[in-house]
Amino acid sequence: MRLKTMTHTLGLGLAMFALWLLLSGHYTPLLLSFGVASCALIVLIAARLDVIDHEAVPLHLSFGYFGYLAWLGKEIAKSNWDVAKIVLDPKLPISPTMVWVPATQRTDVGKVIYANSITLTPGTVSVEIEHDRILVHAITREAAEGLESGDMDRRVDQIEAR
């Protein structure tokens, strides 16, 4: 087994056990051993199926991911407020538009994070990913311009370890 595969396998096992500990809340020796055994069995099955790789276990993402999630939460709240104002306005001031925005991420995981971040932000939906760009439907021209500025794209780039 190659070192990189072993690293991803170990990372998967540790992440699964940490999640098990978090969700279980039981720390008796018997239950801890059951948790270790069940996580080891799942990692063994995943290894035999050859599904452990850099996409299944994205260890290449830096710890900046947690800062990005905080920033994304703030952006979602701001966009949610903007969409609520639009919906509550009797004139319904929308200007739906479709734009292509560049996706400069090097990996497929990075592009998926970027496209999903766009879709999570109220008022915008990722419609299609085509090579190095994403087709986005925006409820207003201002929302589309916010994406065209490239701030979200740069932030996703920063969490990918280069």
Per-residue model confidence as pLDDT tens digits over 79-88: 999 999 999 9
For 88-102, what is each residue's pLDDT tens digit?
Answer: 999 889 999 999 999
Report the Cα 118 to chain-centroid distance in Å: 10
pTM of the full predicted structure?
Answer: 0.71
**131-162 b/e with 16+ CB inside 10 Å = b?**
eeebebbbbbeebbebbeeeebbebbbebbee
- Say yes or no to pLDDT of 129 above 70: yes
Tell me the torsion sign for CA atoms 116, 63, 70, 14.
positive
Q: How confident is the model at residue 125 (pLDDT cuts 50, 70, 90)?
A: very high
| Paired residues of 102 in beta bridges | 133
For 43-77, what is each residue's pLDDT tens digit?
Answer: 999 888 888 776 666 655 656 788 889 999 999 99
Instruction: Using CB atoms within 10 Å of the CB of residue 110, give its burial: 0 to 12 exposed, 13 to 18 middle, 19+ buried.
Output: buried
pLDDT of residue 59: 59
What share of the chain has pLDDT > 90, as a percent?
Answer: 57
Q: Which residue has the tokens 């996703």?
A: 156
